[in-house]
Structure 1
């Protein structure tokens, strides 16, 4: 039996933010396609990718919006922040300027997403250790001071790319379980999508979970 393409319980909306050239599109491509794009073009506006993952036995579809880093696209990309359940904030460990701009990206994320949006800080290009310009310790401290998850990753080798998307999803799922994330709120960034019964059809509208349903 083949698995139905819509066999997942939740949809989580993610955004990827950060300066131009930090590897946002490459991270998305590595996560969705398991490949590295060596000559990745700069994103104009936004790009989109999806993948189904599993968290605590639940299949979850990630809808990932990759935003352009250039200042001239900020007005366009800011509209995609609303309703994001997770945000991946990326800098390049070999370019301190991209790290120095994190406060500005974080301000946008805090102002334009809901208070429960899970933000994970990602230091990309960890494979370029010899060219490192930002230490692991200082980035970790920045993350801790601002209540962020933190990982260093490499879109080139794939190191920690999977973990970055999964850790954010685990935290979002935990927020659903403990009730701190209201699935009925339009800006939650999460849709609950029950599996269709055999021979049945799926409704396109997200449905709230039934009280006391153990199915």
Structure 2
């Protein structure tokens, strides 16, 4: 899709039909969510409805995915972005990212999903990419309770690089297909308790079967989008500018300053 702005023609990437979100996505479990939201915020709906230029660029948010090595971060992201599962993904070296484009309440929205390495030797590289995150997703393996305990430290590391109150937090348990029913319930209870302490919303997913993967990412994208719209309004952004962020020139363009390739250091 093309649009003319300031005498120049800009290209707005199309949004696939399976990335159009009109109804507000439900939470995983009532006791696992931070807020019982089933509807869009009235102010956000009004701001989007009153826009006079619906295709004025793309609004972008950044989500960073953190957690121990081999908990399934890459499998989770790839399952959502490509609807494929490969148990033999190579370990992420440093960072990688995907960009997913949505349309929410008629407004184009782009989400950067940053996949960070869980190995200790890459921490000094990956931590530089935490900065500027609107969403922090802490991931653990539901079949390995130790990885749940480690999410506290991962969250602290990511929070250290961001301003307080500038991001939302999700706690995601992967590989739910590996657990028997009773074990799943026990792990889920422990995870919900920790999520409450972390002020996070909990989700149980399986990248192998696809269970709850799309539902989680839709919920996360909707909350990030709504939060961005409301913050724009607080800052005095007019309704015609909602969704009017920088246009994306390519999947590797318009990245935050700390997301440039870091110089090699002696720590890794």
Aligned to 2:231: 179
- Whether 1:164 and 2:213 are equivalent positions in the alignment is no
Among 145, 152, 174, the residue aligned to 1:124: 174
Tell me by how many angstroms 1:63 deviates.
Answer: 1.2
- Whether 1:35 and 2:84 are equivalent positions in the alignment is yes
Aligned to 2:149: 100
Unaligned runs of 5+ in 1: 185-190, 207-215
Q: TM-score, normalised by structure 1?
A: 0.79
Tell me by how many angstroms 1:4 deviates.
Answer: 4.2
Aligned ranges 1:59-138 → 2 under 5 Å: 59-115=108-164, 116-130=166-180, 132=183, 135-138=187-190
Q: Counting helix residues as a fraction of each chain, which structure ranks higher?
A: 2
In structure 2, the CA distance between the partners of 1:177 and 1:123, relative to structure 1 (3 Å rule), is same
Whole-Å separation in 2 of the counterparts to 1:99 and 1:14: 20
Tell me by how many angstroms 1:183 deviates.
Answer: 7.3
- Whether 1:144 and 2:216 are equivalent positions in the alignment is no
Whole-Å separation in 1 of the counterparts to 2:191 and 2:104: 27
Whole-Å separation in 2 of the counterparts to 1:108 and 1:136: 24
In structure 2, the CA distance between the partners of 1:154 and 1:4, relative to structure 1 (3 Å rule), is same
Aligned to 1:5: 13
Checking the alignment, whether the CA contact within 8 Å between 1:19 and 1:70 is kept in structure 2 is yes
Partner SS state of residue 179, structure 1 = helix
Aligned to 2:19: none
Which range moves more in the overlay, 4-13 or 19-28?
A: 4-13
Tell me by how many angstroms 1:195 deviates.
Answer: 7.3
In structure 2, the CA distance between the partners of 1:181 and 1:102, relative to structure 1 (3 Å rule), is farther
Which range moves more in the overlay, 134-143 or 123-132?
A: 123-132
Checking the alignment, whether the CA contact within 8 Å between 2:61 and 2:225 is kept in structure 1 is no
Partner SS state of residue 90, structure 2 = coil
| Bigger Rg, which one | 2
Checking the alignment, whether the CA contact within 8 Å between 1:86 and 1:169 is kept in structure 2 is no
